[in-house]
Structure 1
Amino acid sequence: MGVLARRRPLLHSRGRYDNLEEIRSLDPEVDYDRITWITSRLEFPWDYVQGTGIAFLRDYGVPSISRLLDRTREFEDHGIKRYDDTLLIGEEAGIEGIDSPRAHAAVRRLNRIHGHYDIPNDEFAFVLATTIVGPVRWIDAYGWRPLDPHETAAIAKVTTRFGELMGIRGLPTTYDGYLELLTSYERRHFEHDPANTRVTEASIAIARALAPLPARSLVRRVTIALMDEPLRVALGMPEQPAWFVRAVRAGLRLRARLLRLAPPRREAYHHRPSTYPQGYRLGDLGPASMLDELNQKEIAR
């Protein structure tokens, strides 16, 4: 407790570190579902979503991935539904724990969607790696506190189990393993291709459509400012002025300092999909062109 207290900033709201104390009392080898839920839904909900969003852009730096996404036109033609469905499948997999029937049903749904395409194991593994490295990097840079080792260990456990349920082979079991997988894969495969740029622009258009009206004109520039240089080049995005990049990142760091003064979140964050204002069922998730087939398979199961 003394070490934890010494690491706290002097100014913070009452109870701000209660969740962290609970996390440190848990065993990430056993309590990984609970720890990951606290981290992603109570401590850093906005950061986790933003980190995941930037992480998905890394997928587009690999031409074989972006060409497939470009061919499907899901981002261009059904972008907001695609965005909502991605977040909702992730949420379905976490609400009751990664090995709950609810989570297994969500991953089974995802596998059936992916089964329509010829995707190699190494691409699946890379995409999975982005989903853990992206949020961790974002929180390390812009979170209101650093992640605890218990958190990264728990998130890695959940990530690996999710990948196993997807049938991905040869996965790491630690965050450092996922970081190495991601960085080595990018060194070998990052390369500019026109499809990279098209899918990136389509994704930015989704973010712009979902952003508050006053912020929409800045969404593209801010998104590019948050990219590292190898990613920006691979995606074919224009370089932003250095002063603008510094301002965006300084603004996010200021937000983090202010959040230390905010009371802790008491209710878990849940994605509110604009696609389904009256609520959704698992059978609603997936490309519209596949829904009948996907649901028939689920009935026949």
Structure 2
Amino acid sequence: MNINATLAASLERQETASEEAWETTFRQMALFDLAVDMEVGFFLSYYRNFAIPSIATTLHTNAEIQQRPMKRSYDTAIVIYELIANGLESDRGKAMVELLNHVHRNVPGSKDDFLYVLLTLLVVPIRWIQQHAWRQPTTSELSAASRFFTELGARMNIKDMPASYAAAADFFDRYEATHVAPSEQGQHLMDATVQVFQSRLPGPLRPLATKLISTMLDDDRLTAALGLPRANVISRTALKTGLELRNAIIRRRPLRQQPHFTPGKAGSSLYPDGYSLDQIGPVNVPHSPVHTGNELP
């Protein structure tokens, strides 16, 4: 059997997926075919909010990131992956939407601020994939990803969601063109969360954490706003070479058989024995009980 057969078969399914199968298509993209690059994109989208002074001020005032940077970072990822893995209409998905709405209730910010934060989770991972992944996203995947975040936005009462990925990217660029700027609060948030990235790096690379982040962001205006060192030709070339090598290896391996994320499963130093949904989110936010049969004992 050709070792690339499953990769090719999955790509064909993704290319020909129907619009009605948007949730399945996006799940396949995020948890299997392009899982590692989606995770990198989600990771980078988290930092981008710190470069918007109005959003940074709100996050800084809340103080959750400064006090518990590891928990805030991991919980943010867990919420989005729970929604992707289980579906927006599942019990676990509804619990995560309820948590998001509860956490953001009475949070100051304009309609465009809330829309931008949500669209970072769509546009930033897609652009990373387009530039660095082992293959390009398909038209069906772009449509499915857009539909996923449109549906999530509707459940969070975020108005005027863009009708397509192209429209979302256009809003994203226009918003950043007029809102990205340095702020003391944004740089404090960035400093507080660098340790999360450092903890995931091999020891010898940890002193280079800020340089690696700025190279992956690849946006001088953004890195200046965040107080990060400017990327240079050497760091950009090293990243490009490393990713090209990784992509060559991926293309020669079978499609992964296990999802990139399994709800409730251990996967970090924060939750070494796994987690239940009532552990996710700010420590001072009450949770409604969720009984799905999938909770850890």
User: Under a length normalisation based on structure 2, what TM-score does the superposition of the two structures give?
Assistant: 0.89
Deviation at 1:76, TM superposition (A): 2.4
Aligned to 2:215: 225
* Of 217-226 and 133-142, the range deviating more from structure 2: 217-226
Please show how residues 84-233 of structure 1 align to structure 2 within 5 Å: 84-227=74-217, 228-233=219-224
Asked if the contact 1:40/1:48 (under 8 Å) is kept, the reply is: yes
Aligned to 1:241: 232
AA aligned to 2:72 is: R
Deviation per residue, 1:157-204 (Å, 9 max, x gap) = 001001111110111121111101110001111111122212122222
Asked if the contact 1:92/1:102 (under 8 Å) is kept, the reply is: yes
Deviation at 1:116, TM superposition (A): 4.8
Deviation at 1:138, TM superposition (A): 0.7
* Of 210-219 and 199-208, the range deviating more from structure 2: 210-219
Give secondary structure in 2 for the equivalent of 1:16.
helix
AA aligned to 2:273 is: Q
Instruction: Kindly indicate whether residue 11 of structure 2 is the aligned counterpart of residue 20 of structure 1.
Output: yes
Aligned to 2:244: 253
User: Under a length normalisation based on structure 1, what TM-score does the superposition of the two structures give?
Assistant: 0.88
* Of 122-131 and 192-201, the range deviating more from structure 2: 192-201
Deviation at 1:60, TM superposition (A): 1.3
Give secondary structure in 1 for the equivalent of 2:86.
coil
Deviation at 1:281, TM superposition (A): 1.7
Q: Matched residues in 2 for 1:62 and 1:21: separation?
A: 39
Please show how residues 24-103 of structure 1 align to structure 2 within 5 Å: 24-27=15-18, 29-103=19-93
Deviation per residue, 1:253-283 (Å, 9 max, x gap) = 3322221112211111116233222222221
Alpha-carbon RMSD: 1.8
- Percent identity for Structure 1 against Structure 2: 26
Select which of 281, 287, 293 maps to 2:282.
287
Asked if the contact 2:86/2:93 (under 8 Å) is kept, the reply is: yes
Deviation at 1:45, TM superposition (A): 1.4
AA aligned to 2:163 is: T
Asked if the contact 1:47/1:139 (under 8 Å) is kept, the reply is: yes
Asked if the contact 2:31/2:260 (under 8 Å) is kept, the reply is: yes
Q: Matched residues in 1 for 2:89 and 2:4: separation?
A: 35
AA aligned to 1:260 is: R
Counting matched residue pairs gives 283
Aligned to 1:3: none
Deviation per residue, 1:67-126 (Å, 9 max, x gap) = 222222322221111112111111221223223332122111111011152233211100
Give secondary structure in 2 for the equivalent of 1:273.
coil
Deviation at 1:12, TM superposition (A): 7.2
Q: Matched residues in 2 for 1:23 and 1:198: separation?
A: 41
AA aligned to 1:23 is: Q
